[in-house]
Amino acid sequence: MVVYAGQGDPERTLALLWRTPGDGPPRRGPKPALTVDAILAAGIAVADESGLDGLSMRAVGERLGKTAMALYTYVPTKRELIDLMYDHAHAGLVPGLPGDWRQAVEAWAVALHERYLRHPWLLQVSHARPVLGPHEQTVLERLLEVLPDVAVRATVSALFSLVRGSARTIAENRGAAAGTGTSDQEWWTARSRLMNDLVPDFADRFPRSAGLPPVAWDKAAREAFAGGLNLLLDGLENQAGRRNG
Amino acid sequence: MVVYAGQGDPERTLALLWRTPGDGPPRRGPKPALTVDAILAAGIAVADESGLDGLSMRAVGERLGKTAMALYTYVPTKRELIDLMYDHAHAGLVPGLPGDWRQAVEAWAVALHERYLRHPWLLQVSHARPVLGPHEQTVLERLLEVLPDVAVRATVSALFSLVRGSARTIAENRGAAAGTGTSDQEWWTARSRLMNDLVPDFADRFPRSAGLPPVAWDKAAREAFAGGLNLLLDGLENQAGRRNG
DNA sequence: AACAATAGCTTATGCCGTAAGGAGTTGGAA
DNA sequence: TTCCAACTCCTTACGGCATAAGCTATTGTT
């Protein structure tokens, strides 16, 4: 499932995101048994455990001892709930970054990468038409504070692509391992055996791929992330240096 | 929806992917009214029009004048159908690449980027536990043929992240525009007005973000892709040069 | 005491993937 | 020629989903 942000009533969503205090007259009916925060926490817990596909209004309600429909008093639709969860899960990232810009950018990328791995469902929420909540905005602001003054737009975009792409690969890998019960090694050896039988001329047709098994083990993927980040930062340093001298 | 590849019977899937000819005895029952290829084409057409969320077995069957259940004779599950569609949609990419490695890598990335934009649902199929069909394998092999002999693993990973990340942003943006009926400009100005009302101190709290509106218009996103690719290739050239001299 | 507003329930609608099983069609064996 | 095994494709059914509609019970205000 891919979720596009901000489809509901934008005013209501933004008010919830930025927590404009309810300005209406004092509430009249029965006391609310829930809060938006409690629903958020429950939703994040469910999504952490079962992914965004396992996040149903029923499941969130059940975790709070309520029915699915009870949530609709607090949150307009499931989409808005995910928007709120998304922003909330970005809270408290990178409070302080080192002074050296290259180290700082690297630290930023690693921290975001780790956050994505802690809440893999974040990667299923679209990055276009941004939610623009306070916490994700802070993450972006921190990066902009340390980025050298060159190709900012392209660098931001490339960094997000790299971090999200790598995290996605690792998260999906973990999900596949957990969901199927077969480890990477098991899967790969079984797959290799089958391929040998079915496509015996594989090594002839794809000599370089055959020499580079496209396995995305956790460790290999992390190294690839570090290496890719290094490449990008090299390029950035190069361009910044060229510009300044 | 995110789809993990290769969950079904791996042998059957691989046989379908690589089209090991049906080796059994001559068919006995009524003549098949469908073919796997026809189902694939119909599935791709549906996914192109309505995305992977709109891809239901009922919809694919309907396009072929059949019921949903008729498809299950040819394809074990929906998942396998998506795997087959995924590989098929990679066919015929980058038949020839220029001699200069930097130009070649750039051409490869641009071609893949365009392919993703033509079939945005490709981006919703997981890249972990690869489908390993012949067409996607060819795409990887072409890249490996032209890549300089440095940090191959990291470069491949970073390139895929960049291409997929950028394409995802653009595709999601288009999807949001098409789905909501509001253009980027409309959306952005409306959102700005609301933010001004709800968060009047935004520019004070996020001065750099405020100076860099995180809009992902088609054109801006394409430029960001080109710029990010340049950064990465600069870094690669840098490392390759350092190694060779 | 009466009322307006609100919370949270039950019910219902129309989607989805696909399991189960039945009806009709075909080629080969007897 | 007859008959059956193999095969295609259908109908039906199940349990899941988001959420619309409408009901009841609770609360603060008048």
pLDDT at B223: 87
Interface contact flag, A223 B153, Cβ < 8 Å: yes
Cβ count within 10 A of residue A25 = 6
Q: What are the tens digits of pLDDT across the range A96-131? A: 888 899 999 999 999 999 999 999 999 988 766 676
Q: Which nucleotide is closest to the Cα of A56 by its C1'?
A: D17
**Which pair of tokens denotes residue A99?**
């002074």
Protein-covered nucleotides on strand D (Cβ within 7 A): 5-12, 16-22, 25-29
Q: What are the tens digits of pLDDT across the range A17-48? A: 887 665 555 577 788 889 999 999 999 999 99
pLDDT at B3: 47
CB B143 within 8 A of CB B159: yes
pLDDT band at B1 (very low <50, low <70, confident <90, very high): very low
The rounded distance, in Å, linking the Cα atoms of A216 and A203 is 20
pLDDT at B90: 97
Q: Where are the alpha helices (DSSP H) in A7-124?
A: 10-18, 36-50, 57-63, 78-88, 101-118
Q: Which nucleotide is closest to the Cα of B64 by its C1'?
A: D9
Which of B212, B221, B234 lies at the smallest CB-CB distance from A144? B212
Q: What are the tens digits of pLDDT across the range B107-139? A: 999 999 999 999 999 999 876 677 778 999 999
Name the minimum distance, in Å, from the CA of A209 to any CA of chain B.
6
- Residue B51: name the closest of B215, B226, B179 by CA: B179
Q: What are the tens digits of pLDDT across the range B200-242? A: 999 999 999 888 765 667 888 888 899 989 999 999 998 888 8
pLDDT at B22: 56
Cβ-based burial of B93 (10 A; exposed 0-12, middle 13-18, buried ≥19): middle
Domains and CATH numbers, chain B: 10-88 (1.10.10.60), 101-244 (1.10.357.10)
**Which pair of tokens denotes residue A97?**
């970054």
- Has residue A139 got a pLDDT over 90? yes
The rounded distance, in Å, linking the Cα atoms of B245 and B242 is 5
The rounded distance, in Å, linking the Cα atoms of B35 and B41 is 10
Interface contact flag, A209 B140, Cβ < 8 Å: yes
**Which range is least confidently modeled, A68-77, A83-92, A213-222?**
A213-222
Interface contact flag, B2 A154, Cβ < 8 Å: no
pLDDT band at A6 (very low <50, low <70, confident <90, very high): very low
- Residue B184: name the closest of A138, A6, A85 by CA: A6
Find, in chain B, the residue whose alpha carbon is nearest to that of A187.
Answer: B129
Handedness of CA B36, B39, B44, B45 (dihedral sign): positive
Supply the DSSP symbol for A73.
G
- Residue A213: name the closest of A231, A195, A232 by CA: A195
The rounded distance, in Å, linking the Cα atoms of A38 and A84 is 12
Task: Give the residue with greater pLDDT, B3 vs A206.
Answer: A206
Average model confidence (pLDDT) across chain B: 86
The rounded distance, in Å, linking the Cα atoms of B76 and A181 is 20
- Has residue A229 got a pLDDT over 90? yes
pLDDT at B6: 40
- Residue A98: name the closest of A112, A111, A108, A110 by CA: A108
pLDDT band at A181 (very low <50, low <70, confident <90, very high): confident
pLDDT at B52: 92
Handedness of CA A185, A189, A195, A200 (dihedral sign): positive
- Has residue B25 got a pLDDT over 60? no
Residues of B within 8 A of A223 (CB-CB) are 153-154
Q: Which amino acid is at A63?
A: R
Residues of B within 8 A of A239 (CB-CB) are 231, 234
Residue position matching structure tokens 């015996």: A200
pLDDT band at B7 (very low <50, low <70, confident <90, very high): very low
State percent of chain A over pLDDT 90.
49
Which of A10, A138, A239 lies at the smallest CB-CB distance from B234? A239
- Has residue B50 got a pLDDT over 70? yes
The rounded distance, in Å, linking the Cα atoms of B92 and B79 is 23
**Which pair of tokens denotes residue A96?**
């302080």
Residues of A within 8 A of B155 (CB-CB) are 227-228, 231
Handedness of CA B39, A2, A222, B154 (dihedral sign): positive
Q: How far is CA A22 from the centre of its chain?
A: 30
Strand D and A127 CB separated by under 7 Å: no
Backbone angles phi, psi at A3, to 5 degrees: -115, 120
pLDDT at B121: 95
pLDDT band at B5 (very low <50, low <70, confident <90, very high): very low
The rounded distance, in Å, linking the Cα atoms of A133 and A88 is 8
Distance spanning both ends of chain A, measured CA to CA: 48
The rounded distance, in Å, linking the Cα atoms of B130 and B152 is 18
Q: How far is CA A16 from CA A4, A37, A131, B8, B48, in A?
A: 17, 10, 11, 42, 34
Interface contact flag, A15 B198, Cβ < 8 Å: yes
Residues of A within 8 A of B229 (CB-CB) are 158
Interface contact flag, B141 A239, Cβ < 8 Å: no
State which of A70-79, A106-115, A158-167 shows the largest mean pLDDT.
A106-115
Q: Which chain A residues 44-63 have CB under 7 A to strand D?
A: 55-59
Q: Where are the alpha helices (DSSP H) in B27-96?
A: 36-50, 57-63, 78-88
Task: Give the residue with greater pLDDT, A115 vs B8.
Answer: A115
- Has residue A5 got a pLDDT over 70? no
Mean predicted confidence (pLDDT) in B34-60 = 94
Cβ count within 10 A of residue A244 = 9
Cβ-based burial of A102 (10 A; exposed 0-12, middle 13-18, buried ≥19): middle
CB B125 within 8 A of CB B5: yes
**Which pair of tokens denotes residue B124?**
């919703």
Q: What are the tens digits of pLDDT across the range B159-210? A: 999 999 999 989 988 887 777 777 878 888 888 888 888 889 999 999 998 8
pLDDT band at A152 (very low <50, low <70, confident <90, very high): confident
- Has residue B4 got a pLDDT over 60? no
pLDDT at A184: 79
pLDDT at A244: 73
Tally: H helices and E strands in chain A: 11, 0
Beta bridge partners of residue B125, listed in sequence order: B3
pLDDT at A39: 95
Average model confidence (pLDDT) across chain A: 86
Say how far B94 CA is from D20 C1', in Å. 50
CB A139 within 8 A of CB A146: no
- Has residue B93 got a pLDDT over 90? yes
Name the minimum distance, in Å, from the CA of B114 to any CA of chain A.
17
- Has residue A13 got a pLDDT over 90? no
3 state DSSP class of B150: coil
